[in-house]
Every structure is written in structure tokens, then in C-alpha cells.
Chain A
Amino acid sequence: MDRLLADAIGPERRAFHIAGALAVAATIAGILLLGLSGWFITGAALAGLGGVLAVQGFNYLVPSAMIRLLAIVRTTARYGERLTGHRAALMALATVRARVFDRILSVRDVRAVSAGDAVTRLVQDIGALEDRLVRKPALPAALAGAAIGLVLLWLASPWASLALLALIAGLVLWGHLATPRLLASAATDIAAALARLKAGMIDYAWASPEILAYDLAPAIGRSLAAEAAELDRARRRFARGEAIIDAGLTLGGGVAMAAVLAISGAALPMTVLAMLAAAGAIEALSGYMRGVSRGALVTAALARLEDVAGRDEALMRAERASGPVGRTIALDRNGAHVRLAAGERLGIAGRSGSGKTSLLETLAGIRAADRDCGIVLDDRPLAMLPPAAVRAVFALSPQDALFLSGTIRDNLRVARAGLDDERLWAALDVACLAADVRAMPHGLDQWIGDGGARLSGGQRKRLSIARALLAGKPWLLLDEPSEGLDMATEARLAHRLDIWLRDTGAGLVVASHRPALLALAGEGAGAILKIDGPGRPSS
């Protein structure tokens, strides 16, 4: 994760340097502005007491010009620092966000990824990193503030300078010691409560027709409110902790001024300058201290992102060890033995719940294969093969097909890179969906709703089949391909699939209750595998 972050920051390094330099300029200008003003007033007062001659000897032109200049420098430098710093941080994080998403895409067990959790990582956690990057210029600003403060105090009184040094060190130490105690657990609790709340919402929102039909909203609202109250409590704890840490700076600023006034033996104008500079030096710490306290949030976020990053590397190693597969499939499940060569077909029948779907999902590389799943690809047990290599061989049209919220075209083009419209229409034609799509007002560009909600059950099924056909893999896997279809459409679909399989030479494994589809596998003795339950096949 650190490397990922470093890679993303790399191109923005120059911008961060510029932001740091501007922050230094703004801090120094701010401290000098107030210090010089105090010096000027005190000096003027003493000169005023000294009579006309002293007044004429007092050089007021240079300080008054300096005061005006510093007011302008402070403003412009601060604006420049903020803009440059934020631009650099946001651009770096756009890169991080995309990379982390790539890593979520490459997880081993895709069914285990919860959308709410993933989005928390991509939005909240990376947002927390933004805070850290935006505060990068705070360190040079704090150092510059401390340096100018110590120098000006040294001119007034070395002892006062040492006292300021001790105070600054004490405050930095306070920030680092108090943060883990006051903020760390609150920060983790906030992130966890937020993730739980979102995951819960997404899970529940899937149930909207049932929620409406059974009027579940109040009950679910109550259970979500309990989660939300936990979130609010954690936020309050965090805010209070942060205020306590900040209060250290407020107190420290007062103590610094009091100490200079008590210790300094220099001329009064210099003492006033030193007092105000000491207060300014402490104030310059605030950005850095806020970064330290926010570090609790960043650390929690980084830890979760680390989880994603770590998984990716493990996967990459496995990938390299793979080779091409898919010439033969052997299924060996407690007695029943089937061996398929390229282009052959198999039907799977059995009661609902007997494991047809999990067999197909395992083949497709979407469900992690057990050591004893009894599936052998090219004489290598499936469990030993990397999922990506397995996925390259099979195109699955699952029982409950998932769709992107997008257009028909978006969903079909997921199948393979570089598909033109002609091929899309050809696949839709085989899947018996071409006429439906032609009848839609926007054709291929028809928006299909949230996860395909605008399509009927049968249309979703056929779109999913068309997508599997387009993938151009050596094996086609169909899970209940004709569910939700009327008899006429089902017969047409079976006929066209038969022609397509013959033309392309692709193999087929089809699970279905329906004779018309099982017939695709042929009439031979070994063509149909009947399974009666998980691990209990018969033929």
C-alpha cells in the first residue's frame, strides 16, 4: 500500500514541494506581521514618550511598509499553497482509487466481496488519505514557524528561546501520545460503524419489493438506527478527543507568551516582538498537530486498504505459474465418471438443490474449488489451477445473471474486447433476443435499469446467454437457460444454440430441468449426468 501511494504521489512531487514552499512563506509572513506590528507599536510608544527628537529619530517608514507587504504575502501564499496542495493530493488519489479498484477486481473469491465494504474502501478510506496528503505542507510550515520563532526569541533572550523549544517539543509529544489514546479507537469505530451501516442498507435495499409488500421499513429503520447511534457516539468521542488535543495548542500559546514576558530581559519592543512570535510559532504547529490527530483515521483506512493490496500480490504470484487449459474436462463424482473432449456436450439434470449450480460455478472459476471437487481440467485438478486460467476457458450464463447498470451494449461488451455491433446482433439473434432489442426505442443503447431491472426475467436470461456466446471461450456453461421463457421461445433458443455450437465447435455443459434444453447435449448414454445431491450422484 505504501508503495502504491508512493507511486501515485510521484508525478505530483513537484507540486507538493511548491505547496510546502508557499506554506513556509505564508507562515513566516504571518508571524512577522503580528510580531513586527507589536514591535512597531511598542517602539513608537517609547519614542513618543521620549519627545520630539526621539520621534524624528524613529524610522517608521520601513516597518510600516513591511507590515503592508507581509499582509499581502501572507494572503497570496496561503491561497497558492491550498490550491497547489489540494490539486496534487486529488490527482494522486484519483490514481490510488483506480488502482485499488483494480485490486478489488482481482480478488480470488469474487462472491465474497460486499459492495458496501468495497465502496467504503474506495470512497471513505481513500478520502481519509486525502486528508494526509493535503496536510503534507503542514510539516514544512510548522518547522519554519518554529525556526523563525526560535531565532526571534534568541535575539530577545536565549533562555526564552530554549523555553519555546521545550514547549514545542512538549506539544508535539502531547499530540503523539494523546492521539492513540483519545482518537485511535474512536476512529476505528467510526469506520466500522459506517461500513456496517452501508452494507446493511445495500443488503436491505435489494429487498425492496418484499419490504414494501410486508411493510418492513419501520422495523428495518429501527435496527439501522441502533447502528447509526453507535456511529454518532463514536463521532462524538472523536470530536471531543480532537478538541482536547487542539486545546493543548491554545494553552501552549498562552504559556509561551507568558513565559517570554516573564523571562525576557531585552528591550521592551524586542520582548513584545518575541512574545507575539512565540504565539505565532505555536499556532504554526496547528496544521501539523491536526495531521497527527487525523492520523488515527488515516491509519485505520490504510490498514483496510493494505488488506486489498496484500491480496493482490499473492494472486499475481499464482498467475505466473499457469498455462493454457481446456482441451478436456473430467468429472469424477462418487462413481459417476464423465470425460469430455473439446467440442463435446454434457447435460446435467437433478432436483433443485442437488448442486447443479455450484458445479457450474466451480467450473467457471467463480466459486473456489475444493480439493476433492472431482473436476480435472487437462489432467490437472481444478483446485490446483489459478482461477484466472480456469475463467479463460469457460463462459458462464448463470442462473441469476448479474448486469451492469448501463445499456445493452455495455453489458454485451463486458464479454470481450473489440466487439463490433455486427457481432453483438449475431449473438442476440442466437439468444432469441434480437427482435426484443430491435423493438426497444434505443436498440443496443437501451438503458436496462439498475442491475437490469427494466428487463423481464426471460430477457435477462437471454441477454446473459448472448453475453456468454460473445466471450468466445472454448466451453459454454448454461445454468437453466430457458427459465422464464415460453415454450415457443425455448424451442427456438435450443435450435439456434445447437447450430451455434456446431458452427463454432465450442463445448457445452448445460444444467436444466427442461427436456428441450437437455436434448442439446444429445441422446447418447453419457450425454446426461443426473445428480441427486451434493456429492451423491447417480446415473
Chain B
Amino acid sequence: MINRFDRRGAALLWTADSGAAILMAAALAAGVAAAARHDHGALRLAVGAMVAAAALRAALQIGATDAGEIAAADAKTSWRKRVYPRVLVAPPGDRRMLGEAVADAVDRIEDLGGFHARFLPLRRAAILSPLVIAIAAVFASWIAAAIMLATLVPFGLGMALAGTAAARAAARQLDALSRLSGLFVDRVRALPVIVGFGAQERIGRHLADATREVAARTIDVLKVAFVSSAVIEFFAALSVAMVALYCGFNLLGILPFPAPERLTLGEALFVLILAPEFYLPMRRLAAAYHDKQVGEAAVERLEGIAPPAPAPSDRAIEAPPALRFDAVVVDYGETAIGPFTLDVASGSIFALRGPTGIGKSSLLHALLGLAPIGGGRILVDGRDAGDVALAGHVGWAGQSVAFIPGTLADNIRLARPEADDAAVEAAARDAGLGPMIEARGEGMALRLDHRGSGLSGGERRRVGIARVLLKDAPLWLLDEPTADLDARSAADIAAILASAASGRTVLMATHSAELAAIATSEMVLA
């Protein structure tokens, strides 16, 4: 509600600015007329009114800008609520690069700012303001008002033509720009590889080509976009010229047709000053036209990222579930894995084994909905996995452990935000992080960055294990939880997992014989 009021508020303030322009024109016309009459008192009054009208316009413009900005912040906030959660759980196998997704989420929402702060209020004002100006002009010269309104027809046609072409080109350009951002993020992320192999020059050349291509595309867009502003410029200039010529010939009394009205100097100057004001709202709108193109293209992309969400299932799993994979095929488009059929009994520890690359991890991802299922069904307690709220109710330890900037405790607590410090520390020690915590001397407050720098491969794995232990969920999904660990550590972890796993269903993918030994059943994928 506040949102709508504010948006209208900005439009009304911009329209009020046109009202102040009328005051300005009237004061100026009255002043010149007074000067012609040598009426010094009236002249001084008019001069004062001009300054006052200018001050009023200045204040209204500040207010309109601010009101637009408030409306924009509201609009952006509601988009963020919708889009951010989707980007955070993008399937890792998705073809789009991560950077592209983040650029979409952050930049595209920022792109909406100008659209809501400037374009929308100015569009409302662009309908109201010229009418206000034309009505004011009628009082001085109805023909001048008619001239202004008549130029609107060819103007509208020109804008419609230029506008559609520009919108198409802008959408294409936004695509290219977004890909470029994604390329930058990806290459910067792979910097250790690029630098390690001395490939800077090759990668740099490739990116230079990509940036030049985007620049060339942008210029194509601008060629069209500037046509629409040229159309406005032209009609704004034309309406000034036509009003000036009509008024001049009317005052001279040499119009080539019988004059329907007789103008005074004051009236003529009044409509002349109003003529550029008639097109000013459109020129302002044209200056914000880029905001519109960017904003609309952004909305389209955002709709793509975050389609209206289906109602999430609230049927959470409570008891250890039974899982059934029924001829499941994971289909990545270019490659497909499966079909696999397997049954995991409730409360059992099930090990998926098999040669590298056969699709053990993909099956785990598919259960979470992170891998596209091309055929078959996954059932959780007899219900389709999509209908069961697994997200938030499982323990997960993956092949790579993700870190957020923060302390070690923050990182482990991700699994169960309400866990107290003692529980978090207990989980860390159970996962075998004890010696590391002692050695660093910072305890659970050890600072980690988003790459978990400073932790060894094995320590990262143990952070993942600590999360699983803390989560205390009825279903655990473990993806090679002991890879990167030496035999002794792997055996430790296997023992910890074995003792903590009772009363849960555990599905794990592993090569490790120690870990497979704790399983109650196993299957070799082939």
C-alpha cells in the first residue's frame, strides 16, 4: 500500500513541476508585457514571481526524485525476497555459470531501480503533464494548444516504431552482458589454474575479444535507442518552431487564413514558453527510457530465475525413511546416467559402490532434486521424492565442503542454526577436529573465509562430518565422506559415523573399504 502511494506520489510531484512551469511562463509573459507598458511596479512583481516559481520547481524536483527512490527500494525488496533463495540452491550441474546466476540475482534487481524510481513515475507524469500544459495554453491561445496536441500523433507513431526495435536489441545486449559477467567470474575463480599454467595471455586475449563483442552489440542497441530520443527532440523543436511562427504571424496579422483569435504579446510569449515544457515530460521519459529497457529485460530474466514457486510440501520426514530408486535415469542433456534400481530399507546403512564416474553422486543429487531425472521414480516411504520435504531435514556431507566467511563455529552451525555452542563444539570434536582446534589456539572462533583457506583437505571433510553429526536428521546422505583422509583418520570417521548412524537411514557413496564395512547393505553400480 505504501509502495503504491509513493509511486503515485512521485508521478504527482513531477506533474506538479509542470504546474510550476506554467506559473513561470505566466510570470515571464506578464513581466515582458509590463515592460512593454513601462509599468515598473508590475515588472518588479513579475520578476519576484519568476524567482519564486523557479524555487518551487527546484523543490518539487527534489521531492519527486526522492519519492521515486523510495518506491524503487520497495519494489527491489520484494524481488529480492523472491529471487535470492532460488539462486542460492541452483543445481550445481546447471549449464549456466555461477557468476551469471549471481549477476542475474544482484545486478538485474539493481537494474529495476531506475525503472521504478524514474521510468514509472515519469511515464504517469508524461501522460498528465502535457495535458496540464495544453489546458493552460488554451486560455491564452487555443490554436497554439491545438498545435502542441497535433504534433503528438506523428510523435507517438515514431516512438512506437523506434521503441519496439530498441527493446528487442536491448534484450539481446543484456544477454551478452550477463554472459560476459559470468565469464569474468568463472575465469577469476579459476585464477590459480590460469596463473599456475601461465595461461594469462591466452585467457586475456579471449576475454578481450568477448568485451569488444559486447561493446559492438551495445552500439547497435544505442543506434536504435537514440532514434527514439531524436524523434522527441525533433517534435519538441518542431512544436516550438510552429508555435513561434503561428504567434508571430498572428501578431503581425498576416496569417494566410482568417485569424480565429487575436493574440496579445503576453499571451504569445506565454504559449511560446509552454511549448518546450509540453515536450519536457516526454524528454525526461526518454532520458529514463534506458531504465525501462533495462528494467523490463531484467524482469524477464528474473521471472526466468524465479518462476512463481509451487507450494512447498510440508510433509517432513520424521522417522528414518525407506528409499526406493525405481529405474532412475539422471539426464544431463548431453550425458545420461542409469537406469539404477535399488531399495534402501528404513534404518539401514546403504553403501553405493562402483567405479569412478558411474553416477553414485548423481543419484544422491537426484534425491535432493539437484540433478535432472530423465526417467524412473525416486520414492521416499512410498511417496514421490518431489512431494516430500527433504530439504532442511537431511544430513549431507558432499565431495566438496562449502564454507561461508565466518568462524569455525558459524560454519558448523549452518546445519542447525538453533544449536548452542556446546553442541557445536561437541560435534566438531566428535568429527575429529579436536587436534586442529587445539593446535590453532583460537578454539571454535577460528576465522574461515569463503574458500576455507588454511584447512587441509581432511579438515574440510571433518567440518562436513561435524555438520552431519550436529544436524541429527533421520536421513543422512554421504558422498565420499572419507576421501582425502589417511587410513587412520578414515577408520576414525567410519567408527564415529557407525555409532552415530543407528536409528537413521544412511545412503552413502564411497570407495573406502573401511567405510563400506559399516554398511548393513551395499550395491555395486555397473
Contacts and interface: CB of A to CB of B under 8 A. Distances in A.
B278 interface: no
Contacts of B192: 110-111, 366, 398, 402
A463 to B, nearest CB: 11
Contacts of A70: 237, 241
Which of A71, A118, A197, A467 counts the most B-chain CB atoms under 10 A from its CB? A71
A352 B276 contact: no
B81 interface: yes
A115 B227 CA distance: 38
Contacts of A33: 237, 240-241
Contacts of A254: 24, 50-51, 53-55, 57
Contacts of B484: 352, 399, 480, 483
A441 B65 contact: no
Contact of A248 (B31, B58, B229, B402): B58
Nearest to A114: B450
A405 interface: yes
Interface stretch (B127-135, B218-226, B339-347): B218-226
Contact of A459 (B53, B240, B357, B393): B357
Interface stretch (A158-166, A298-306, A389-397, A495-503): A389-397
Given A209-B370, A211-B88, A60 B253 contact: no
A45 B264 contact: yes
Given A48-B253, A221-B85, A242-B65, A71 B399 contact: no
A40 B248 contact: yes
Interface string A183-218: 000000000001001111111111111111111111
B498 interface: no
Contacts of B70: 236
B94 A450 contact: yes
Interface of B is mostly: helix
Given A101-B207, A446-B334, A58 B186 contact: no
Contact of A352 (B80, B182, B390, B489): B489
Given A41-B248, A221-B81, A352-B458, A98 B204 contact: yes
Contacts of A404: 186-187, 190, 193
A113 interface: yes
A208 B89 contact: yes
Contact of B47 (A68, A261, A356): A261
Given A41-B251, A71-B234, A453-B92, A224 B355 contact: no
Contact of A119 (B35, B94, B181, B404): B181
B159 interface: no
A246 B54 CA distance: 12
Contacts of A48: 251-253
Contact of B102 (A106, A116, A207, A242): A116
Interface in B206-261: 207-208, 211-212, 214-215, 218-219, 222-223, 226-227, 229-230, 233-234, 237-238, 240-241, 243-245, 247-249, 251-254
B196 A366 contact: yes
A210 B402 contact: yes
Nearest to A190: B110
Nearest to B92: A453
B72 to A, nearest CB: 8
Contact of B198 (A219, A221, A392): A392
Contacts of B488: 351
Nearest to B32: A272
Interface residues of B, number: 175
Contacts of B417: 216, 219
Contacts of A391: 195-198
A450 B196 contact: no
A37 B248 CA distance: 8
Interface stretch (A322-330, A335-343, A409-417): A409-417
B396 interface: yes
A60 B250 CA distance: 12
A352 B269 contact: no
Interface string B60-83: 011011101110110011001100
A240 B66 contact: yes
Contact of B54 (A94, A255, A441): A255
Interface stretch (A78-86, A168-176, A369-377): A78-86
A254 B53 CA distance: 8
A517 interface: no
B98 A451 contact: yes
B9 to A, nearest CB: 14
A238 to B, nearest CB: 9
Contacts of A489: 355-356
A475 interface: no
A350 B184 CA distance: 37
A392 B195 CA distance: 10
A220 B392 CA distance: 13
A290 to B, nearest CB: 10
Given A42-B269, A221-B88, A119 B188 contact: yes
B252 A218 contact: no
A252 B50 CA distance: 11
A46 B248 CA distance: 10
Contacts of B113: 235
B361 interface: yes
Which of B24, B182, B196, B269 counts the most A-chain CB atoms under 10 A from its CB? B196
A94 B85 contact: no
A528 B26 CA distance: 95
Contacts of B44: 262
B19 interface: no
A353 B269 contact: no
A292 to B, nearest CB: 17
A123 B54 contact: no
B55 A202 contact: no
Interface in B464-521: 467, 471, 477, 480, 483-489, 511
B47 A262 contact: yes
Which of B185, B194, B405, B485 counts the most A-chain CB atoms under 10 A from its CB? B185
Contact of A228 (B62, B76, B240): B76
A244 B63 CA distance: 9
Contacts of A212: 89, 368-370, 391
A400 B400 contact: yes
Contact of B399 (A78, A87, A208, A484): A484
Nearest to B513: A487
A513 interface: yes
B365 interface: yes
A254 B56 CA distance: 10
A355 to B, nearest CB: 8
Nearest to B57: A250
B414 interface: yes
22 contacts: A37-B244, A41-B248, A45-B265, A47-B251, A83-B223, A105-B203, A203-B404, A205-B87, A207-B414, A208-B91, A209-B402, A210-B402, A212-B370, A212-B391, A221-B81, A221-B88, A232-B77, A251-B54, A261-B46, A456-B356, A456-B360, A467-B193
The 9 closest A-B pairs by CB, nearest first: A254-B54, A352-B458, A215-B392, A458-B356, A207-B402, A37-B244, A98-B208, A213-B396, A203-B450
Given A102-B204, A202-B98, A240-B65, 16 more contacts: A37-B244, A206-B403, A208-B88, A208-B91, A211-B89, A212-B368, A213-B396, A213-B477, A224-B84, A235-B72, A239-B117, A352-B484, A357-B457, A405-B182, A451-B186, A533-B439
